[in-house]
Structure 1
Amino acid sequence: MLSRVADSLYWINRYVERAENISRFVEVSAAMALDCPPGSAEPWQPLIDASGHRSLFDALYPGGGEQQVLEFLIRAEANPNSIVNCIALARENARQIRDVITSEMWEQLNGLYWTLVENDGFWEEPTPEQLREIRRGCQLFYGITDATLSRDLSWQFSRLGRLIERADKTTRILDVKYFLLLPSPDDVGGVLDELQWMSLLRSAGAYQMFRQSNVGVISPEAVASFLLLNPLFPRSVRYCLERIHETLQVIGRDAAAGTPDDLECMVGLTQARWSFSKIETLIAGGLHEAIDGLQQDLNQLHNLIHARYFVLPGGLSPVDTTVIPVSSASLSTTASGQDLACAPA
């Protein structure tokens, strides 16, 4: 497979997954804001910390509140990872490889893009309806991809991008709650604390599955264990890492046998570490530190994947990495998104 094709497939799915996660986070925060008692910490600013763009937000919206956070995460041209920019960049990558993806995939992604860019009536709807429509559009793209794309290298690179992005976003939203929003000892186990943990589960689409596998009171340890170490839930870190390991084995199955290289060692060690850890051990050693280390490992894993599969001989990238403003309606310049790899928050 050509490096530029693999690169585009990988980034299409990272961007769509990123847009879907952001829409989910914002939708749940909006619902939580309605339930929070007067005087409690508002749920909007932590979303900026979870996105990893605190300095950019503060520069654009000093002292910004709810509306500024919504604008920044959903539509801001200056935010390269706003929902609209993510969908625009996913579409641009898809446009370049229309002969590789299915027509149904292209039509879904192209339709979602034009809904966001040219449908003024869409932006007149209530924000929760906008977010649900975006989330459904992203999920429909996943379903179409899985239903119409052959299980060859195209699908493997698509799956790889989706899984890495999903693992990263799960760790970020958990870290924000556990570290940045950790309540005072008097609040632990209270109504607001439980409400926040329920909202965290909903933001990961995990509330119902968590309730089926855990009975009783919602505790921080149980939530962290489910989102990090559950082997069956498709958004848990462990599940994603195990599937990433499987996918890279399929992609690299033609590699010469011998001493594993840096990529094989990295993915194997990371997957083993999070498949055979106990939540009590992680918490005792500092859950924030463990999550921060995992985010760095995911960044390193991305860099190794990029170096092996997406860089041409001589160290050249397969495509230009220019970030395209959404206002450019034609989006004719190439944008692979390599400069937008998730950096540690």
Structure 2
Amino acid sequence: MLSRVADSLYWINRFVERAENISRFLEVSEAMSLDNPSSNAEPWLPLIDASGDRQLFDQSYPLRSPQDVRGFLLLDRNNPNSIVSCISNARENARQIRDVISTEMWEHINELFWSLQDGEVLWREPDLEQLRTIRRGCQLFYGITDVTLSRDHAWLFSRLGRLIERADKTSRILDVKYFLLLPDPSAVGGVLDELQWIALLRSAGAYQMYRQSVQQAISPTSVAHFLLLDPIFPRSVRFCVQEINDTLECIQHNSIPGSPDELECLRGQLVAKWSYVRIEPLINRGLHEAIDQLQNDLNQLHGLIHNNYFTTPALTPQDLSTISKDPSCSLS
């Protein structure tokens, strides 16, 4: 596959996944604010931290109101990680490779883009339904991709971008909220305490599956375990890391003879690290440090993927149609 095509497919899905996560973060915070209205931005600032844009936000919005947080994450075109910026970038990447993606994929990302542009004035005070519309629009794009794109390199690089972004955002929202939510002993088990942990799970799209899996009272340890180490929840770090490894194995098997040693080594280390660890030792050694190392590993993995696939000479455009039909690469 042409390296620029692989690059675009990878980033389309990272941007859409990023927009979906931010819309869910905002949706959950908006719902919480209805029960606890405040003009103070402090409860909203973890959302800025989760996107990694605190410095830019503080420079742009010195008053730091809840409305500022909403505007920064949803509509601010100077914020490269706002929803508007992410969907715009996803659409631009899709426009450049319209001959590779399906017509349905292009039509949907284009419609999602224009829904934000046309209604920009209305979005300045978003309600829950508007945020749900964005989230569902992103999720619909995943579904359209999965049912209209052949299981070739295009699909593999699309999946790879989505999984790396998902692992990144799940770990970030847990990292910035976990220690903020650790209550003083007098608050443990209270209504507000439980609501806050439920909100964290909802921010990761994990509440219902957590309840089915963990049939006991919510605790910080069980929440951290589910979001980091659950083997079958599709947004947990462990699940994403395993799927990233499997996807890269298929890409390397089908495109470049003699897989890049450094990339193969790192993906193997990530799987081993997150498949054979227990949550209690992880917390005791330092949860923040473990997540920080994960962020570094994901950044390094992204760099290796970029160097190996997005900046190297193209193989042939025909790779899309001649990919090996090895059953081991039939990812679902």
TM-score (norm 2): 0.89
Cα deviation 1:159-199 (Å, max 9, x = unaligned): 00000000000000000111344333333333222111100
- 1:179 corresponds to which residue? 179
Name the structure with the higher helix share: 2
Counterparts in 2 of 1:73 and 1:121: CA distance versus 1, 3 Å:
closer
Structure 1 segments unaligned to the other structure (5+ residues): 314-345
Work out whether residues 26 and 70 of structure 1, in 8 Å CA contact, stay in contact via their aligned partners in 2.
Answer: yes
Match of 1:214 in 2: 214
The alignment status of 1:266 with 2:266, answered yes or no, reads: yes
Listed as ranges, the matches of 1:220-231 within 5 Å are 220-231=220-231
The AA in structure 2 aligned to 1:111 is E
For 1:63 and 1:141, the matched residues in 2 are separated by: 36
Q: Give the whole-Å Cα distance in 1 for the aligned partners of 2:217 and 2:85.
A: 39
Q: Measure, in 1, the Cα distance between the counterparts of 2:204 and 2:250.
A: 28
CA separation of 1:38/1:153 partners in 2, compared to 1, >3 Å: closer, same or farther? closer
- In 2: Cα distance, 1:41 partner to 1:84 partner: 21
- Asked if structure 2 preserves the Cα contact closer than 8 Å seen for 1:33 and 1:42, the reply is no
Equivalent-residue separation in structure 1 for 2:299 and 2:35 (angstroms) = 35
Q: Give the conservation status (yes or no) of the 8 Å contact 1:116–1:122.
A: no
Map residues 186-265 of structure 1 onto 2, 5 A cutoff: 186-254=186-254, 255-257=256-258, 261-265=261-265
Find the aligned partners of 1:126 and 1:82 in 2 and give their Cα distance: 14
Q: What SS does the corresponding residue of 2:186 show, helix, strand or coil? A: coil
Q: Residue 116 of structure 2 corresponds to which residue in structure 1?
A: 116
Query: Does the 8 A contact of 2:75 with 2:124 survive in 1?
Result: no
Q: Deviations over 1:82-123 (max 9, x none)?
A: 000100000000000000000000000001101111235753
Question: Hey, what's the Cα distance between the residues in 2 that align with 1:189 and 1:276?
Answer: 30
Counterpart Cα distance in 2 of 1:71 and 1:44 = 12
In the alignment, is the contact (CA less than 8 A) between 2:181 and 2:196 conserved in 1? no
CA distance 1:296–1:188, shift in 2 (3 Å): farther
Match of 2:152 in 1: 152
CA contact (8 A) 1:32 1:43 kept: no
Q: Deviation per CA, 1:117-151, whole angstroms, max 9, x where unpaired?
A: 12357538842122111111111110000000000
Is contact 2:181-2:197 (8 Å) kept?
no
1:328 matched residue in structure 2: none
Instruction: Look up the SS of the partner of 1:112 in the other structure.
Output: helix
* TM-score (normalizing by structure 1): 0.86
Aligned residue in 2 for 1:340: none
Residues 99 and 30 of structure 1: CA distance in aligned 2, closer, same or farther (over 3 Å): same
Give the whole-Å Cα distance in 1 for the aligned partners of 2:280 and 2:105: 43
Q: Do structure 1's residue 104 and structure 2's residue 97 form an aligned pair?
A: no
Distance 1:207 1:167, change over 3 A: same
Q: Structure 1 CA distance, aligned partners of 2:303 and 2:162?
A: 16
Report whether the alignment pairs 1:19 with 2:25.
no
Q: Percent identity, aligned pairs only?
A: 68
Q: Please name the residue that 2:132 is paired with.
A: 132
CA distance in 2, matches of 1:217, 1:152: 44
Summarize deviations over 1:235-270 as a string: whole Å, max 9, x none.
000110000000000000044458x61111001101
Contact 1:75-1:82 within 8 A present in 2 as well: yes
Letter of the 1:289 partner, please give it.
Answer: E
Distance 1:126 1:151 in 2: 37
- Name 1:62's counterpart in structure 2: 62
Deviates more, 1:30-39 or 1:144-153: 30-39
> In the comparison of the two structures, how many residue pairs are matched?
312
Q: Distance in 2 between matches of 1:147 and 1:262?
A: 33
Paired amino acid for 2:105: M
Q: What is the CA–CA distance in structure 2 between the aligned matches of 1:232 and 1:163, rounded to whole Å?
A: 14
Take 1:134 and 1:41, find their aligned partners in 2: how far apart are those partners? 23
Change over 3 Å in CA distance of 1:196–1:39 after alignment to 2: farther
Who is 1:91 aligned against?
Answer: 91
Question: Following the alignment from structure 1 to structure 2, what is the Cα–Cα distance between the partners of residues 130 and 265?
Answer: 43
Deviations 1:212-240 (A, max 9, x none): 01112100110110110011111000110
Task: State the match for 2:316 in structure 1.
Answer: none
Aligned twin of 2:319? none
Distance 2:121 2:82 in 1: 20
**Equivalence map 1:296-335=2 (5 Å):** 296-312=296-312
Residues of 2 paired with 1:311 and 1:180: CA distance?
41
